[in-house]
Amino acid sequence: MTTESYSSTNSVVSSRWLTPWPYQLLTWGALVYGVVLRLGYYSTNRSLWHDEAAVTLNILNRSYGELLQQLDYGQAAPPLFLWVQKAVTQILGPSEYALRLLPLTASLLSLGLFYQLLQRYASPLARPLAMALFATMGYVLYFAAEVKPYASDLAIALAIFLLLMPRCDRPFSRRQQVSFSLLGAAAIWLSYPSVFMLAATAVATAIYTPRSRRWPQFQNRLPVYGVWLVSFLGLYFGVIQNTLETGELEAVFESRFPSSVFDVWWLVDALGRFFYRPLGFLGIPEGFAAIACLTGGVWLYRYQRRTLILLLLPIGTTLLAGYLQQYPFRDRLILFLAPLGYLLIAEGIAWPLRQPRWWGPAWGWLLILILLVPVTWRTTTQAFQTDSTPLFHSFAIRPAVQHIHTHWQETDVVFVESRGRRPFQYYAQILGFQSDQQVLSDARLPAAENVNVDYFAELLQPFANAPRLWLFFVLQNESTPAPDELITVLNAHFQSEPLDVLKTSNTLTCLYQSASATP
């Protein structure tokens, strides 16, 4: 049996572990590469897609006070996030670069915070592995340039963990009481899931405070917890309750909640999906990531049990909220937990690499080849491209709206399919392209086999007398018809060729002259 050199009595892995310089160099290299990837992805300046544009329209068209009310277009975001975004657009303008500056800043800050987390809680060999995962995983990288609060959720969660978890068994000084009270209260209004991280730190305090000091410790923390609670209640009754009034979000989230507290299958499914999103593994790598995570958990249980518990507490509080049907344990909503998952996976890779027998390093290198190499290659080749191989949502909507605006005539009408209506609104607004003849439809293109002449005859009947009709479609997935197929059906409907066609990444813009306007 191999004897590990790390004492299980140490409460956390800290700088007492001397990091060999190759590991430290690799960790720094992965961090720098993460910065390069994020800056590169940000620089592509891809068009806003539906959800980004929907949030942005609220930011641009509402006052600070109105941003506390229920948002339009079925959106929800923390008030302080919206206020900061609005302030940035007022200073720098409403461009995509300005709108994505806060997520980019939060993502870059997260790299530094994750580095500090690794220095304190990860074994030396696991540090470069975990940093490489965090720096290159496409799902985390994507939200570095997305007008959504998920990148800031992640940064705030890491900051809370680093500030409060190491102090969970120590009393706060008077100065710390004030500062942590204010920071926690602000975090709640800036990041909804910060509540779960704050709750996890409170549970850690209850667990690791010696029994003889629990009552004095509780008295010491009570003012801090009180401020956090008041802040949360103010947010809930002042903002969140208004957001839930329409039932739109509840309808979306309903399928993501367990049917009851005894729904064990929901727990298994939720934890399994965690490796796909937010961690970013798909297919065969997803299974290997789960094995590595379990292995890392076993190693931490044997040699660093306290670290394991601290890492699992935020996951546990978020799962509890899911069981109580208050917060879905799904996808981007739990992106803030991704660093904890990467650390566990990295420990699961590092442990076999340290084994003296050949099978240990062989298994460790196999995990690296499966979990790290494909991801690094994919993000390296895709992060700097806007159209050909996008990471996730990459619709070239900006050039399409610019094209329509440039060639617009006074009597024109434009029909915008539902997937493109919010981005069209945003770009029309910032381009000064205003017209009463912009029809933003609720209709969504069906699957390719259901798109025919009869479908368009019914859909476009209200515009039969328009002299010139622009059609703008966002072709979001493989089920929608290909651009050339769609043009063929439209030509059959109008009984003519289009006057103008623009094909961009996942969009199609066509201009037709109505039969009544044909000489």
What is the Cα–Cα distance from 252 to 422, expressed in whole angstroms? 19
- The pLDDT of residue 391 is 62
What is the Cα–Cα distance from 256 to 244, expressed in whole angstroms? 16
Contact predicate 385/410, CB 8 Å:
no
Side by side, the strands of the sheet bearing 507-513 are 438-440, 413-416, 468-474, 507-513, 500-504
Q: For strand 500-504 and strand 468-474, is the pairing parallel, antiparallel, or unpaired?
A: unpaired
Asked if the model's pLDDT at residue 328 lies above 80, the reply is yes
Owner of token pair 């515009």: 463
- The pLDDT of residue 3 is 42
Best CA proximity match to 331, nearest among 253, 274, 285: 274
Q: Give the contacts of 256 (CB within 8 A, at least 6 positions apart).
A: 322, 328, 329, 330
What is the Cα–Cα distance from 2 to 126, expressed in whole angstroms? 18
State pLDDT tens for residues 13-48. 444 445 688 999 999 999 999 999 999 999 999 899
Contact predicate 423/50, CB 8 Å:
yes
Burial class (CB in 10 A: 0-12, 13-18, 19+), 1: exposed
Asked if the model's pLDDT at residue 174 lies above 90, the reply is yes
Q: Locate 514 and state its tokens.
A: 């109505």
Q: For strand 413-416 and strand 507-513, is the pairing parallel, antiparallel, or unpaired?
A: unpaired
Q: State the Rg of the chain over Cα.
A: 26
Contact predicate 186/93, CB 8 Å:
no
168 pLDDT band, cuts 50/70/90, is: very high
State pLDDT tens for residues 208-249. 999 999 999 999 999 999 999 999 999 999 999 988 876 667
Q: Give the contacts of 441 (CB within 8 A, at least 6 positions apart).
A: 415, 416, 417, 418, 421, 459
How many CB atoms are located within 10 Å of the residue 470 CB?
27
Q: Using alpha carbons, list the distances in angstroms from residue 174 to 224, 228, 374.
A: 10, 16, 50
Best CA proximity match to 394, nearest among 17, 73, 48: 48
DSSP 30-86: HHHHHHHHHHHHHHT-PPP-HHHHHHHHHHHHS-TTGGGSPPSTT----HHHHHHHH
Q: Locate 214 and state its tokens.
A: 């629990």
pTM over 0.85: yes
Q: What is the mean pLDDT of the chain?
A: 91
Contact predicate 506/474, CB 8 Å:
yes
Best CA proximity match to 288, nearest among 212, 371, 216: 371
Eight-state DSSP code of residue 170? S
- The pLDDT of residue 514 is 77
What is the Cα–Cα distance from 345 to 288, expressed in whole angstroms? 9
262 pLDDT band, cuts 50/70/90, is: confident
State pLDDT tens for residues 392-445. 666 789 999 999 999 999 999 999 999 899 999 999 999 999 888 899 999 888
Q: Using alpha carbons, list the distances in angstroms from residue 22 to 33, 73, 123, 303.
A: 16, 50, 14, 23
